[in-house]
A and B are shown apart, each in its own frame.
Chain A
């Protein structure tokens, strides 16, 4: 045995890639697509992503939609008609809900991820309740959900009320 290969045997070397045969066991996308197991914070994480991606898609669509402006009134109106259907209204309601949730929860997250509103570390006493999963945080999520629901409801009223 030469000296070079010896290091590889010890466990602190990263054998992860070398043993390609081993199942890497990662949950993959299923990991974050399933928000049900670990409490509200996980739901927030999941929704923040979904709404973020959703809003991005909407935003791209929206920029495209408004670009019909340059092609004159007919192009604009035919574009606008797409949203004046029931389906279009429901879609817009979802966008309203998504943006409300994403915004409100996003503002909470900006505080949280800057270490604010989480409580202080201290001696944990059994049974252990994590201070970071406190009610301030949870209510932030609930408020975001609630506001999103209200916004969707209001938006629905406006749009469907307007259409009739």
Chain B
């Protein structure tokens, strides 16, 4: 049985920022099938039409976060967007907005990663050593499935930057940590192994910090992994406001016998 083939036009944003700024769109005719993704189409163009298309990709299964780009006006993952679901014969690919551009579809993530790093996204715990150094320490934290569910959703984040690209505050404010970093601050706060919220509150309760989010919701609208950063951010604000009560009990490690 053979599958019907469709022809589409792939319009790709082209420029090299180190040489000349003048961007242009190149068009490629690509034959696609029902399951062809935008990434497949781009790689097809790269292999057989124009090998100079610069594009970042790796896993092709929506778990590495490399292939974020603006597809038909909205930030999406190229490997996660099937051409057939776009309902259009012209597919326009542009680099993610709000990231410095390097070349064609490739953008610079160093600032995005720096924001993530700044919120200290690792377990702080004053009572339990975070390094396991001797065999007596071979006991894990006790954490029930319900306690895992409190933060699990936020650890789905693949750092693809789509939310960062959609957020209207990020569009003008370079110092705003952005939805990704802020939702990670919530992820660690909701994790009952961590007691570092005082430190993290200090970091995000800043002039350009969490309050520069005005619940535009666009981050959650585009997130491909269901992280719902907007939720995490507002819940975090609730804690800063003193509205949400803080009932987290820091987990303890189990005893050898348990």
Q: Which of B98, B228, B234, B243 is within 8 Å of A124, CB to CB?
A: B228
Q: Hey, which chain B residues are within 8 Å of A49, CB to CB? A: 214
Interface centre among A116, A132, A137 (most CB of B within 10 A): A132
Q: Which of A21, A27, A122 is within 8 Å of B97, CB to CB?
A: A27
Contact flags B96-139 to A (C-beta < 8 A → 1, else 0): 11111110000110110110010000000000000000000000
Q: Does B60 contact A (CB under 8 A)?
A: no
Q: Does B232 contact A (CB under 8 A)?
A: yes
A31 to B166, CA, bound (A): 8
Q: Does A77 contact B (CB under 8 A)?
A: no
A161 to B241, CA, bound (A): 45
Question: What does DSSP make chain B's interface, helix, strand, loop or mixed?
Answer: mixed
Contact flags A1-44 to B (C-beta < 8 A → 1, else 0): 00000000001111110010111111111111000011111101
A26 to B107, CA, bound (A): 11
Q: Which of B192-246 contact A (CB under 8 A)?
A: 214-218, 220-228, 230-232, 234-239, 241, 243-244
Q: Which of A104-138 contact B (CB under 8 A)?
A: 109, 112-116, 118-119, 121-126, 128-133, 137
B residues contacting the other copy or chain, number (CB 8 A): 61
Q: Report yes or no: A38 in contact with B214, Cβ–Cβ below 8 A.
A: no
Q: How far is the CB of B192 from chain A (nearest CB, A)?
A: 13
Q: Which of B97, B100, B151, B237 is within 8 Å of A121, CB to CB?
A: B151
Mark B residues whose CB is within 8 Å of A: 17-18, 21, 73-74, 95-102, 107-108, 110-111, 113-114, 117, 149-154, 156, 166, 168-172, 174, 190, 214-218, 220-228, 230-232, 234-239, 241, 243-244
Mark A residues whose CB is within 8 Å of B: 11-16, 19, 21-32, 37-42, 44-46, 48-49, 109, 112-116, 118-119, 121-126, 128-133, 137
